A and B are shown apart, each in its own frame.
Chain A
Amino acid sequence: MISVQALKKSYKNVPVLDVDQLFIGQNESFGLVGNNGAGKTTLFRTILDLIRPSEGKVEINGKNVQGNDEWKSYVGSFLDEGFLIPYLTPDEYFKFVGELHRYSDADLKNFLEKFEELFNGEIIGKNKYISDLSKGNLKKVGIAAAFMGNPQIIMLDEPFENLDPTSQIRLKNLIQQERKQRNITYLISSHDLNHVTEICERIVILEKGKVLKDIKGSHNTLAELEEYFKA
């Protein structure tokens, strides 16, 4: 699925990302943790071809993401508010993204029904521009849009941040349910160790741009992570 090869990124000769080898397979749920400045967002952005790597490359399904638009139709992502269009209402935004993925009106309706619970009646049909939504609701709109077009890969940066506890739990259920129904590869970064260990079977710790630990399917992942972050 996603293969990161000898990836390096530095700004003014200061390295911020240095990942030797990283392969994320199909239907894997991959969690990325690390303190601020560890390079999580930079890694995600490089995978999405938003940042040009200084060295190395990222391949999705065997094709370099650079200079290639194909992956965009099956990778859904939400990293920050730059992925939203502030002057549209959520309804218009979903309609637009739907159109990009050739959704019919019925498709769109079906799709939005899945998110009814998460939206909690605060988002659809409100005639409010996205720029006027609260942080939590912004996040919900962005996350939902990342699920549009039946993507094989979904990348979310800090999905639980700014969500209220009920929404956090609902989002967690939603992520797991979607995965039961079809093959989805998740890439999720989070500061919330509880949530991320619950959703992800594989956790990678990033420190100063380097992969420090790569924990797969262990039962005491959480304990291991807590041990690392204590220091």
Chain B
Amino acid sequence: MAIMMVGYTLALGFGLNYLITEGLNQPDSFTFLNMLLLYYFVMEFVMRYMIQNVPVLDIQPYLHLPLKRSRIMHFLLVKSLAHVMNITVLLLFTPFAITVVAGKFGASGAFSWLFTIWLMSLCLHYTVILFKKRLDDSIWGLLIFVLFFSGLAAADYYQWFRLSDVSAALFAAAADHSFVLLITAIVAGALYLFNYQFFLQGVYYDEQPGQAVSRKAQDFAFLKGLGIMGDWISVELKLIFRNKRPRTVFYMSGLFLLYGLFFYTQKSYTEGMPSFLLFVGVFITGIFMINYGQFLFSWQASHFDFILTRPISIRQYIESKYWLLNSVTILCFLFSIPYAYFGWNIVFNHAMLTLFNMGVNIFIVLNMAMWGPKKLNLTKGGSMNYEGVGAAQWVMGIPLLASPYVIYLPFVIAGKPEWGVGAIGLVGLIGIVLRPYLLTLTTRRLERLKYSIAEGFRKD
């Protein structure tokens, strides 16, 4: 993965000048590139946010060794620099600096330009660490992201100021005056020290956030009537609300209810591309099923043996999952009814896709989740955490999103798309009616696979 990235970046770096002058027909490649650089950094920030880890997580093993704490901190912070993202800038822009910038501003200009960019990238490195450490997986981190980007886009749109102009001026100056390089270096140093201070305070294990927060016993009384199944569902609800990662998944599902606002507010979607709306509908009503369901068994990896040895049959276990996922799907549908404001056909779409999710997609989720699930650490954060992600998790979304289209397509070809939507609902209904039989098949499969799943979960 890392090597692939290096290769691509390097190739892109060598082709950069040619790409801009010939491909995009911009004769002044230097100014053009400079205009884009700040946008590039915005993108780099997002990339880093996704793939970069907070180094402090692995400090425990060093704490008892005869080393000064300050040294450990410096070591960790410097070690964190060994990341492919930190050489990306050099790979990408060194060829350009040598061929183009050096031609205009001489070797020292090229050097100053390149290093300014590199140091900015390192600034991002330490900013991301702080950002993740402070805000990881809280809903705030996401909101700040969204607000920041909307703000930028709005500013450009209303011409308050254009980021590209600022960018062009900034990096042109970087090649011309060495003080820009100097300021960037100072900022990078300051960020490093800030990180250092921050980590030095957070060094004690028991003071790290997320430790031993206990709560009053809660109970989901409304589930009492459902007998053993209700008990299991209420324990699973506790799993969701008491652990960071599944909680994030749950809140994300709430946010996804708003997903429709992107599409339903635009006539070009509601009128021009009705088939596209199926996709939106599957997401809005089924996002929890998809996101939570992809780790359906992994969530309980730490106590899977408990489930297998206690008096609950595999059938009951599968059924409790079935009801949990389907109840949330129904809830999502109910909450999405206000979209009626944009036309009742949207509600009709949602209703049909809800049926489909409940009758067909649920069984795809149940069965695909059995495909080599991996152990998950519940307490770690959710967004962009790839622990527990295997092949099944990557491909699971495809059948879930594609299957409604398989039914829909023949009707579109026949010129009756509304019928197609109805047919999707009908197939879903058939799935719901055949539930006992489908549950039996799913149960048998888990009976067969439970040994290998349990064994996988016992490994750390």
Contact = CB atoms under 8 A, between A and B. Distances in A.
B303 A84 contact: yes
A149 interface: yes
Contacts, number: 84
A69 interface: yes
A52 B231 contact: no
Interface in B289-307: 302-306
- Give the one of B217, B304, B310, B455 with max A CB within 10 A: B310
Interface in A5-57: 48-52
B214 A89 contact: yes
Contacts of A85: 235, 303, 306
B458 A82 contact: yes
Contacts of B458: 82
B305 A82 contact: yes
Interface string B132-166: 00000000000000000000000000000000000
Given A50-B454, A52-B451, A82 B303 contact: yes
A86 B303 contact: yes
Interface string A76-106: 0101111111111101100011011100000
B306 A84 contact: yes
Interface string B238-249: 110011000000
Interface string A172-194: 00000000000000000000000
Contacts of A52: 451
B231 A50 contact: no
Interface of A: 48-52, 67, 69, 72-73, 75, 77, 79-89, 91-92, 96-97, 99-101, 127-129, 131-132, 149
B216 interface: yes
Q: Which 6 A-B pairs have the closest CB atoms?
A: A82-B305, A52-B451, A73-B311, A72-B311, A69-B313, A87-B242
25 contacts: A48-B309, A50-B308, A52-B451, A67-B447, A69-B313, A69-B314, A72-B309, A81-B302, A82-B302, A82-B303, A82-B458, A83-B309, A86-B378, A87-B242, A87-B378, A88-B238, A89-B214, A89-B217, A100-B231, A127-B214, A127-B217, A128-B212, A129-B214, A132-B212, A149-B311
B72 interface: no
A183 to B, nearest CB: 19
B312 interface: yes
Given A82-B303, A92-B217, A96-B231, A49 B308 contact: yes
A177 B314 CA distance: 34
A51 B242 CA distance: 30
